[in-house]
Every structure is written in structure tokens, then in C-alpha cells.
Chains A and B, each alone.
Chain A
């Protein structure tokens, strides 16, 4: 659809994009993120990804505790490292997704798959449904794996894993 046909609707689509200059994030004593935006102050704020699977750190919705959108960060890369890291910390808390570095073992039994893996957050065992719905291809070689409880794991590029891990994962695709 061309944007022209939406021109008349612009007033309904007013989105506030947050620029690094007007934002000041910091961490509260209780471990929450706080935002000073010009003269306004929000405590706490929550950060949500608009495209958690495809665009990661771009288009982050910053919301207050009533779930009202304060604004959208177009790209976290525009922020300086300290500020970006504070937001990344909050994102890490909201989207806890360990990255699988190695698959030690994978056993299928009665419709469930039992995994033993090494992740960037430490070793882990988890169980997924045996049907292939548990593995969500995201882009070319990237995979999202969701276990029976709703925990998420990511394989950034399964072709770059060691041969054994890659082979084990391939049997599920």
C-alpha cells in the first residue's frame, strides 16, 4: 500500500519517537528502569520490542506502568553505550532467551524431545513438544525453540554450530 493513501490519517497515527538527546534512563534501587524525558519523569518504565523476532533492538516501545506508550526508540544503536546497555538490561529481563551454543543430547520419546544444551547463560536441560511446532524458523538459519513451559531458546545460526549439534537440530527441521 502506498503511504499517500494514508496521508489523511496522519493525525491518528501520531507516534512519539524518542531521540537520545531528550532521554535519560537509569536504574532504580529496586532494579527497575526509570526514564527522564525532558521535564517529565517516569518510574518505572518497561521496554517492549515491536518486532522481537525480526528487528531486535529497533522500534522499542517504552511504556509506563499503566501500559501507556511514552514513545518509541527507533534504534537502540543511536543511544550512547551506557544508556543503550541500561535498556538492553531491561530487554534481557523481559525477553529472557538463552542462546544455544552446543547441543549435548537430544532424545525423542513419546512425542516429546528432551534436550541437554550449553547456552550463553549456562548449561540447561529442557523439554519441547515432539511436533515440529516447537522450533520456529526465524529468518534463514536462525531458530527459536520454545519448551513445554514457555521458556525460549535461540539458535542464532544452526549451521555455525559444531557438526553434532547441527545434525541433531537438523533432524527436527
Chain B
């Protein structure tokens, strides 16, 4: 390929630079033949040098180059330019380097065009510089470097408001530990002083005392359980509120990048994992640790040799456990993933049921679900089998020491070195050790599960919204002028969706956005709502940069009517009043009347109190549409966005909706997207977007006369419309759904 062919003489970079200072260097890693290499593109004020393994393999004078660009291929990218009129592929690189090259291209194009070079845009690193770990999502927080101790600390800090309750729980723990440790002492006294001496009074006394201690202990357990449950559920609630609040605060970008199911899991499952850890496992852990330490201390004090026998298997057990920890972790991670997959599939199929039924694919879907759920069942069974084989085995190892104690202890008793009561006390204590020890071996699993959940929850909480309010952001009462000033934007900065858009909209204008799908219409709207910030240029409202206005303030003054209006489950009244919670019933009725919704609402038995949603009244698309228009009218926004507002209804309803919309747009700056161009006839101006640029601008008549893209779109639709008319005339049996293309 071209690059390799031009190797004249290989020389070192220093020699090739000949005293020039490089402006920037960008690495590349794929050779023209497609092998991994280590190379660099070195840019000096006048030249571009390409090095491979520290040898300069190509030198190009910048003055000879035009049109630098990056091409995104599948799995790699390519830097291209035109050298002396010849289109040339310069270097190939892996996808991670793409943003660096986009930056470089911007720079090189400005320099070769003789303009002042822009600053290099800072590129958000994807990996932690300390350990190379990939940051989860966009948050630049490394979960490895914030380690588990910190996660625990963070969980504890969440518990701070409940410090008194925690203290109370701890005190209960200490008391109950003491009570548990006393019982074997009582057993010894019972045997040695009571039974051994034939003293009936003492037997009765100790038995009574023992039962009292037991009763007391159970009482404590109840109180403890109550406290930890309250504590756990408060903590869980705090966490859920934090995550949910954060999700609401996060930009649309984040929400759309994650599956709904995944986000739901984080709000519900992960938080309840943490909750259950706090109220069950953590509590038991503290309790058992105290008991364990107490017993070991007592055993050691009583007879340290026997104590060592009891504890002998413990290191081995712990060692095996530690080794198995990673295995169990991946096992359960996988199980969780499979569970998620079954869930997602279910959600998919249930929401796409119409399609499944339409194509008669029920059997196939059943088979698919069966296969998925079998996978899940298999993996669960496999995990549980391993889990349940492993632990009894470990349990046997732990118990092995007990036999040794009985043997050696028995000999000590026979040799009068130990009383019978002491031996029984000893074995009782030794028996009490297994509980905590066995429980400790479960802890890694629970702990890991909880930490994974905690991490998942915290990553949401730590997520920084892409679109942030500036510290000095202020309120702004919108009058309705909207201006795009040299706006360039892409969802990924190296793939612009809108290029250098300049539009000036006066208050009260209705702007129709026209163009093929993917032309950037919705993106344009997203920028008006400031769901995203432009990469270059500014969006101004009444001459004020949107970035300097509080987001909540902007959105509260922008109304949106979507093609498929979203109604929450609740009553019609609640749905309309959603946009203005303090509205009076008169205002609501007025809004519904203007939206041509009042009359059909009154036909329902329950009027405005009619329930909509899953178990409520089924509303037609047109009815939902008009309710959402009523919602927008009540909202009384300064800027209105109509996104394909009438695409999905029949002609009669459309007229009603058109009428309602006509009333709604009056005196408001309106941006309307419609595939059906006839719905835009009221627009003051139309913007025709093509490949992210404004291709045409003007009124319907002007653009139609111009005979450009718009004319072609209109003609194509007229054609389609005529075809549909003939079709309808031809086949009156009507197998179409009334939705025009």
C-alpha cells in the first residue's frame, strides 16, 4: 500500500525533525498490511512525519495536503488526506485512538487552510491511569482504586444518621454475646458442683439459671432482630431514594444508554441486597465474631493444648475457602447475568406481543424462552451443586478436631487432670466455634455480592450528568427567541450529527423541521431542550446562552407533544395536571376543552377520574394524543415541541388534533417535526435538514417553487398519498392501518 511504498531512506526521528519542535504526536498501531506495530504520527509546524518502531517511514509537507479526515471502519480507523491531489491513506489505528485522530484532523485542516489552529480538545480517558482499569460507564471513578474498605466506609457513612440505633444494636450484641458465653460455665458448675456432689438444690438452681439465661438470650434476639430490621430498611430506603433521585437528575444520554431492566435492578435489587446484608449478614457477622473471639480466649485460658487441637483444621479450611472465593464470585456473577437475560427476554416478548402474534411466532418464542430459562436453571443448579457439595465437606474438616478433643480430653479426665464438668464445658465451647466459623466461610460470598451491589449503586450515585448546571446558572423567563450560532454536535464528538447550524427564530414563529430520518431533526430538538450541549457554537434563548440558564428552568418552560404520548397510570385528571400540579379543576377542563379532549372525556363513565394505564380505560391513540395536548396547554410553555404529533391517527381524529394543535401553537415558538409534510402547512418557516446541515430554508411555497430537496419530498408524498387513495378505492376491505408512510 502507498505508505510503505514511499520509504526512501529510514532515519531516526531526531534526524528527520532537523531542529523542528513537534506540535503534537499521536500513536498508531496497525501497519498497512494489518499487523500490530508501534508507530507515531508526529506533526511539526510544517511537516507530518510517520514513524514506525522509531524510524521515520514517511515525510509529508503539510502545504501539499488537503482534506484530512478520519474514516471509521469496522474495528479500526484510518487517517486519510489528499497529498498533491492524490487521495492517500496515511495510517491505521485501533478504535480507542479514534477521538485523538478526530482532534488531529480538526487541527490539521485548520493549519493547512491557513487558519489559526484550534486548541486540542481534551479527551476523556476511559481507563484509570493508576491501574489501567476501565472506568465503569462515563464516570471517571476507578472502583478498584476506591477499594472495598472505602465502599464499606461509604456504607457506614450512609448509616451515620442512624448512629444511635447502631449503638443500641451493638450494646445488645455485647450483652447477648456475654449471655451465650456464660451457658457452658453453668453446665460445668451443674456437673461438677451439682451432679458430681449429689447436691439437688444446686442442680435445680443451675438448671433454673440456665433456662433464665436462655430465655433472656431469646428476648435479646427479638429486640436485636427488630433493631437491625429497622436499621436495614431505613438504610435501604435511603439508598433507593439516592439512586432514584440520581437517575432523575441524570441526563437523557445516560438513561438511554442503559437498559431499563438494568436500571430497575439497581434501584430495587442492588439496594435490597445491601439492605439484607446490613440487617442479616452484617449483624450475624458482628455477633459471631464476638462469640468466636470470646470462645477462643476462654479455650486458650482453660487448656491451650486442647484448644489448638480444636482450632487445628481452621487454617486449612480458611485457605481452601479463600481459594474458592474467586470461583464462587464468577459463578454467581454468571448466574446473575443469566437471570438478567431471562428477564430482558421476557420484557422484550411481552412488549412485542403484537408482533409475535401477528407473525404467528408464539411457539418459537416459547421455545426461545424455554431455552433461556433452561440455561438459567442449569447454571443455578450447577452453582448450587458445587456450593452444597463444597460446604458439607468443609464442615466435616472443621468437625474433625472435635474427635481429637474427646479422645485427649477423656484421657485427661481419667488421669484426674481435668474434671468431667471442665471437659463437657470445653466440648460445649468447642462446639460453639463451628457456627461462627462456618458462617465466616459464607461471608465472602455475601460480602462480595453486597460489594458488587454497592459498587453498582454507587456508580449510579457518582455518575456526573453530562449536562450540568453551571455554578452561576440563573433563572430565565423565556420570551421565545431561539438562535443556533455555528452549532456543531455529535452524540460522540468525533461523529457530528449536526454541522455548523445557524438559525434565528423569532418569538411565536412555528418552525417545521423536515428531512430524511437520521438527518438530525430530533438532535436539533434535543439541543433546544438542552438534553445535550453543543460541541461547538452556542444555542441562545432570547440572546442568553442556554448553558448559563438553570436546566430545570428551561425545561419547565418547554412543552413537548410526542408521537406516542406517554401517559402514566393514574386518572386522566392526574395526567393532565402533571405539567402543573397546582392547577385548579377549571384550568384543567379549560385545557381539555381547548385540546378537543373535553367531550370524549365526558363520555367516559368516570369522566376526568377515569383511570388510564394497564388496568384502566383503554384510550385510542388520538385520545391519548389530545390528553397530552391538554397537558401541554395547561403547562403553557413558551417553547413548544411537536414530534410527529399526528402520525398515528385516522383522518377525523387528525382534524380534531390539528385544530387543537393550531390553538396550542398560537403565540408560542414552536418546533415541529413531521414526516407528513401537510401537517406543517401552518409553519412560518421550514428548515430542511440534510446530513446534519440546513439544506433549505423558507416557507412551503418558497421551497416548493425552489424545486430542491423539499420539492422532491413533497412530490414523493403526494405520489404516495395518491397511491393510497387508489388503494383504498380499489380494496374497500381495508387491510391497512391508516398510518401513512
Known contacts A30-B89, A110-B133, A152-B75, A92 near B95 by CB under 8 Å: no
Point out the residues of chain B lying under 8 angstroms from A97, CB to CB.
74-75
Docked pose: A127 CA to B128 CA in angstroms:
13
Report how many residues on chain A are interfacial, defined by Cβ distance under 8 Å: 38
> Does the CB pair B134–A29 fall under 8 Å?
no
Point out the residues of chain A lying under 8 angstroms from B132, CB to CB.
114
The answer, yes or no, to whether B88 is at the interface (CB within 8 Å) is: yes
6 closest cross-chain pairs (CB), A and B = A30-B88, A122-B36, A96-B76, A152-B75, A31-B2, A31-B1
User: Using a CB-CB cutoff of 8 Å, which residues 416-467 of chain B contact chain A?
Assistant: 455
> Does the CB pair A110–B144 fall under 8 Å?
yes
From A29, A132, A147, A152, residue with most partner B Cβ within 10 Å: A29
Docked pose: A29 CA to B89 CA in angstroms:
9
Q: Which one of B27-35, B303-311, B393-401 contacts A?
A: B27-35
From B30, B87, B334, B337, residue with most partner A Cβ within 10 Å: B87
The answer, yes or no, to whether B380 is at the interface (CB within 8 Å) is: no
The answer, yes or no, to whether B92 is at the interface (CB within 8 Å) is: yes
Point out the residues of chain B lying under 8 angstroms from A121, CB to CB.
30, 34-36
Closest B residue to A125 using CB positions: B132
**Smallest beta-carbon distance B147→chain A, Å:** 11
> Does the CB pair B73–A95 fall under 8 Å?
yes
Point out the residues of chain B lying under 8 angstroms from A151, CB to CB.
75-76, 94-96
The answer, yes or no, to whether B194 is at the interface (CB within 8 Å) is: no
User: Using a CB-CB cutoff of 8 Å, which residues 80-131 of chain B contact chain A?
Assistant: 83, 86-89, 92, 94-96, 98, 126-127
Docked pose: A108 CA to B36 CA in angstroms:
24
User: Using a CB-CB cutoff of 8 Å, which residues 127-164 of chain B contact chain A?
Assistant: 127, 132-134, 136, 143-144
> Does the CB pair B36–A124 fall under 8 Å?
yes
User: Using a CB-CB cutoff of 8 Å, which residues 336-377 of chain B contact chain A?
Assistant: 337, 341
> Does the CB pair A150–B2 fall under 8 Å?
no
Tell me which of B87, B96, B127 contacts A44 (CB under 8 A): B87
The answer, yes or no, to whether B388 is at the interface (CB within 8 Å) is: no
Q: List 9 A-B contacts (CB under 8 A).
A: A29-B86, A31-B89, A94-B74, A96-B75, A110-B136, A112-B134, A132-B337, A132-B341, A149-B98
**Smallest beta-carbon distance A64→chain B, Å:** 13
Chain A residues packing against B (C-beta within 8 Å)? 27-32, 44, 52, 89, 92-98, 108-112, 114, 119, 121-124, 127, 130-132, 147-152, 171
The answer, yes or no, to whether B411 is at the interface (CB within 8 Å) is: no
Closest A residue to B331 using CB positions: A171
Chain B residues packing against A (C-beta within 8 Å)? 1-3, 5, 30, 32, 34-37, 73-76, 78, 83, 86-89, 92, 94-96, 98, 126-127, 132-134, 136, 143-144, 330, 333-334, 337, 341, 455
**Smallest beta-carbon distance A12→chain B, Å:** 14
Known contacts A111-B136, A131-B337, A96 near B73 by CB under 8 Å: yes
Closest B residue to A148 using CB positions: B134
Closest B residue to A144 using CB positions: B75
Tell me which of B37, B74, B134, B136 contacts A96 (CB under 8 A): B74
Docked pose: A103 CA to B32 CA in angstroms:
25
Docked pose: A44 CA to B94 CA in angstroms:
23
From A89, A114, A150, residue with most partner B Cβ within 10 Å: A150
> Does the CB pair A27–B95 fall under 8 Å?
no
Closest A residue to B34 using CB positions: A92
Docked pose: A31 CA to B33 CA in angstroms:
11
> Does the CB pair A148–B126 fall under 8 Å?
yes
Point out the residues of chain A lying under 8 angstroms from B34, CB to CB.
92-93, 96, 121
Point out the residues of chain A lying under 8 angstroms from B74, CB to CB.
52, 94-97, 152
> Does the CB pair A122–B35 fall under 8 Å?
yes
Docked pose: A95 CA to B334 CA in angstroms:
30
> Does the CB pair B144–A31 fall under 8 Å?
no
**Smallest beta-carbon distance B230→chain A, Å:** 32
Point out the residues of chain A lying under 8 angstroms from B144, CB to CB.
109-110
> Does the CB pair A31–B36 fall under 8 Å?
no
> Does the CB pair A112–B133 fall under 8 Å?
yes
Point out the residues of chain A lying under 8 angstroms from B30, CB to CB.
96, 121
Docked pose: A110 CA to B2 CA in angstroms:
43
Point out the residues of chain A lying under 8 angstroms from B2, CB to CB.
28-31
> Does the CB pair B73–A110 fall under 8 Å?
no
Closest A residue to B329 using CB positions: A108
**Smallest beta-carbon distance B26→chain A, Å:** 15
> Does the CB pair B455–A110 fall under 8 Å?
yes
Known contacts A29-B88, A31-B88, A32-B89, A150 near B36 by CB under 8 Å: no
Docked pose: A16 CA to B194 CA in angstroms:
105
Point out the residues of chain A lying under 8 angstroms from B73, CB to CB.
93-96
A30-B2, A119-B36 known; 16 new pairs, CB 8 Å cut-off, are A29-B5, A31-B32, A32-B89, A44-B87, A93-B34, A95-B74, A95-B75, A96-B30, A96-B73, A96-B94, A110-B143, A110-B455, A131-B337, A132-B337, A149-B95, A171-B330
Docked pose: A44 CA to B126 CA in angstroms:
35
Docked pose: A141 CA to B339 CA in angstroms:
23
**Smallest beta-carbon distance A82→chain B, Å:** 15
Known contacts A93-B78, A94-B73, A149-B96, A108 near B330 by CB under 8 Å: yes
From B35, B94, B133, residue with most partner A Cβ within 10 Å: B94
Point out the residues of chain A lying under 8 angstroms from B35, CB to CB.
121-122
Tell me which of B83, B127, B330 contacts A30 (CB under 8 A): B83
Docked pose: A150 CA to B95 CA in angstroms:
6
Docked pose: A149 CA to B330 CA in angstroms:
24
Docked pose: A96 CA to B33 CA in angstroms:
11
**Smallest beta-carbon distance A107→chain B, Å:** 10
**Smallest beta-carbon distance A68→chain B, Å:** 15
Point out the residues of chain B lying under 8 angstroms from A122, CB to CB.
35-37
> Does the CB pair B133–A30 fall under 8 Å?
no
Docked pose: A98 CA to B34 CA in angstroms:
9
> Does the CB pair A30–B87 fall under 8 Å?
yes
Point out the residues of chain B lying under 8 angstroms from A52, CB to CB.
74
> Does the CB pair A28–B75 fall under 8 Å?
no
Point out the residues of chain B lying under 8 angstroms from A147, CB to CB.
95
**Smallest beta-carbon distance A66→chain B, Å:** 12
Docked pose: A132 CA to B336 CA in angstroms:
11
Closest A residue to B30 using CB positions: A96
Docked pose: A113 CA to B207 CA in angstroms:
60
Docked pose: A28 CA to B85 CA in angstroms:
12
Tell me which of A95, A96, A127, A130 contacts B333 (CB under 8 A): A130
